[in-house]
Structure 1
Amino acid sequence: MQLDLNLLTALDALLEEGSVAGAAARLHVTAPAMSRSLGRIRRTTGDQILVRTGRTMTPTPYAIAVRAQVHELLHQVQGVLAPSRELDLETLERTFTLRWHESLVALSGPALLAAVRGQAPGVRLRFIAESSVDTAELRRGEVDLEANANPPSAPDIRGERAGETRLVLVVRRGHPLAGDGTLTAERYAAAEHVTVSRRGNLDNAVDEALARLGLSRRVVASAPTEAAAFAFARDSDLVISLPEATTRSAVTDLGLAALPLPLELPSAPVYLSWHQRYDTDHAHAWLRGLARTALASVAAPAPAPVPGPEPPPSDERESR
């Protein structure tokens, strides 16, 4: 039997998208053409692959079992057939879509854009905002490169840890916590807090760390972006806890203050993620390298340790 490699591409798209229409859109073919490909795959494998359940389609047990193998086979085929010619950056014309956390765009985007323009003037970058829900844009090829605090969870998404930064406390200048006295976990917990969450979460790892100390805090609001949270803190006694790297411009431009967080918390990571289809794409690999360098600036030194309580005065008799 002669094997048509186009069927492998179609099968991979069908298993990833879970629908004929979605697979057709991903491969830029018509829905009837993709439906015909599904029919050929069914005849070749002797399995239905996708079966309709109400308004959706569900993969069969066979399809679920071979999904990872299909991914890997297609990846190997693409690697074998990928052109080995060197990349000509001066003539490269391509638009890359990057879905980065807004603070990473502000912090590392200028350096990345400058590097791209200096090496490949025909390349354009589209920075788009993060969604409030998980999406499959990386898998569908609608996003080329993603950068945020989350490691990839899907087996076909590649990822690497590009940097890290520690959490700090951000308050207005003149805030009671920024004045005299030791900044303790108790004083920190007693303040009123604002979280930053595109999903509106009112708790995070800070609450877990406080709970381990037998403490809790009062979160009065969540903000969808750092910019909104900074505006809240600038005109009030509200407190924000954020990665140090994302607070630099606010401390300088908005007159805020960044203080060491009086809690033991691990560093906040920064992950760079992409779909495995781009592993052997020379232009994509070039962009990843530039992004990796730009995001390295996110890594910041840990804030100075929080001073402990002042030791009690020595007994006068002991000092003699």
Structure 2
Amino acid sequence: MLDLNLLVALDALLEEGSVAGAAARLNTSAPAMSRTLGRIRRQLNDPVLVRAGRNLVPTPRALELRSAVHDLVEQASALLVPAGDPAPATLARTFNLQASDMLLSALAAPLVLAVGRRAPEVVLRFLPDTLEGTSALREGRVDLEIGVIDHTSPETRVEPLGTGRIVGMAREDHPLVTRGVTLRRFADAKHVGVSRHGRLHGPIDDLLAARGLRRRTVVTVSSHSTALLLARQGGLVCLAPAPADDDLPAALGLRAFEIPLELPEVEVAMAWHPRNDADGGQRWLRDQVREVLRGAEAFHHAGQ
């Protein structure tokens, strides 16, 4: 088998047409290049270059190999060049993202729109949050996880993105929107709760109970998208992350409102496997997530 060093030397010899020229090109001595030419001749069982007067000319076998050898050397050299950032307009990739349903209700639309404008050939595949806490990042099934990151492997890269707050959502004609929000009105309104496990009680209920109030939860569902639809169609109240864009709840016929409680903020981060540190496409994707969250007025960015 011809090794890569011999291929590089053969390419230089065929391009330069002389031992001295090839030696200068590869920054080695003429005697060393002459010995390398001898190895190539033995490997190929062909003279490769033969003397014609004061010059060396390629044999028919060498002429036959010249183009293929040059292409192989170029391809091998390209593999060893650090990957540059791709041009978004020509980037054609499918990225697998995992995020909680709650976060997706605020993040998915602006992220999809931003990526679609800049990289129309990119496909975003949002995977269910049932992969949360699994080995999906390590195994390459998930490229980027976004959300409350508290379950990673030791090697996982985690970048805090900031904090977001929880707001209420209701139809524009709901009394909480038209008459204003008080704790009593908020607790007495009919609520749709969100729980993957069907729980009726959550942290906000503890805060209300400390004030002698009880939230009126009439239904629970497993996804925030369903809760938003029920808020619109059934006149219910639901909790959601403050939207990245004020137009998003309006498009659903909903209005976001502040809850008069000191609710803990949600700490949001993104996580990825170290294999994706230097990948240009992956870096670009992480930049898009940062930019979308920077544009969200309701989001407090890490480091600010």
- Please give the TM-score of this superposition, normalised by the length of structure 1: 0.57
The CA deviation at 1:92 is 6.0
Give, in whole Å, the separation in 2 of the partners of 1:168 and 1:88: 38
Distance 1:296 1:202, change over 3 A: farther
Write the letter of the residue equivalent to 1:114. R
Give, in whole Å, the separation in 2 of the partners of 1:199 and 1:158: 29
**Other-structure match for 2:128:** 130
Alignment of 1:54-69 (within 5 A): none
Distance 1:222 1:154, change over 3 A: farther
**Other-structure match for 2:84:** 87
Alignment of 1:2-151 (within 5 A): 85-87=82-84, 89-90=86-87, 94-101=93-100, 102-103=104-105, 104-117=107-120, 124-132=122-130, 134=132, 135-151=134-150
The CA deviation at 1:185 is 1.7
The percentage of aligned residue pairs carrying the same residue is: 35
Alignment of 1:239-250 (within 5 A): 239-245=237-243, 248-250=246-248
Deviation sequence 1:56-101 (CA, Å, 0-9, x none): xxxxxxxxxxxxxxxxxxxxxxxxxx95624151476543222234
Give, in whole Å, the separation in 2 of the partners of 1:88 and 1:235: 45
**Other-structure match for 1:286:** 284
Distance 1:93 1:231, change over 3 A: closer
Asked if the contact 1:229–1:240 (Cα under 8 Å) also holds between the matched residues in 2, the reply is yes
Give, in whole Å, the separation in 2 of the partners of 1:227 and 1:140: 29
- Please give the TM-score of this superposition, normalised by the length of structure 2: 0.60
Distance 1:297 1:132, change over 3 A: same
Give, in whole Å, the separation in 2 of the partners of 1:131 and 1:281: 24
The CA deviation at 1:298 is 3.6
Give, in whole Å, the separation in 2 of the partners of 1:248 and 1:196: 22
Distance 1:153 1:229, change over 3 A: same
Give, in whole Å, the separation in 1 of the partners of 2:151 and 2:117: 27
Distance 1:155 1:299, change over 3 A: farther
Asked if the contact 2:163–2:299 (Cα under 8 Å) also holds between the matched residues in 1, the reply is no
Kindly tell me the number of residue pairs found equivalent between the two proteins.
Answer: 215
Give, in whole Å, the separation in 2 of the partners of 1:211 and 1:133: 33
**Other-structure match for 2:166:** 167
Distance 1:298 1:88, change over 3 A: closer
Distance 1:166 1:92, change over 3 A: closer
- Alpha-carbon RMSD across the aligned residues, in angstroms, is 3.0
Write the letter of the residue equivalent to 2:183. A
DSSP 3-state at the match of 2:234: coil
Give, in whole Å, the separation in 1 of the partners of 2:142 and 2:183: 41
Asked if the contact 1:166–1:267 (Cα under 8 Å) also holds between the matched residues in 2, the reply is yes
The CA deviation at 1:246 is 6.1
Larger CA Rg, structure 1 vs 2: 2
Asked if the contact 1:196–1:225 (Cα under 8 Å) also holds between the matched residues in 2, the reply is yes
Give, in whole Å, the separation in 1 of the partners of 2:245 and 2:198: 20
Deviation sequence 1:190-234 (CA, Å, 0-9, x none): 222112344544333322322333433132222333332122122
DSSP 3-state at the match of 2:97: strand
Asked if the contact 1:171–1:240 (Cα under 8 Å) also holds between the matched residues in 2, the reply is yes
The runs of 4+ residues in structure 1 deviating greater than 6 Å are none
Distance 1:231 1:291, change over 3 A: closer
1:300 aligns with 2:303: no
Give, in whole Å, the separation in 1 of the partners of 2:166 and 2:244: 10
Give, in whole Å, the separation in 1 of the partners of 2:198 and 2:245: 20
Give, in whole Å, the separation in 2 of the partners of 1:130 and 1:163: 22
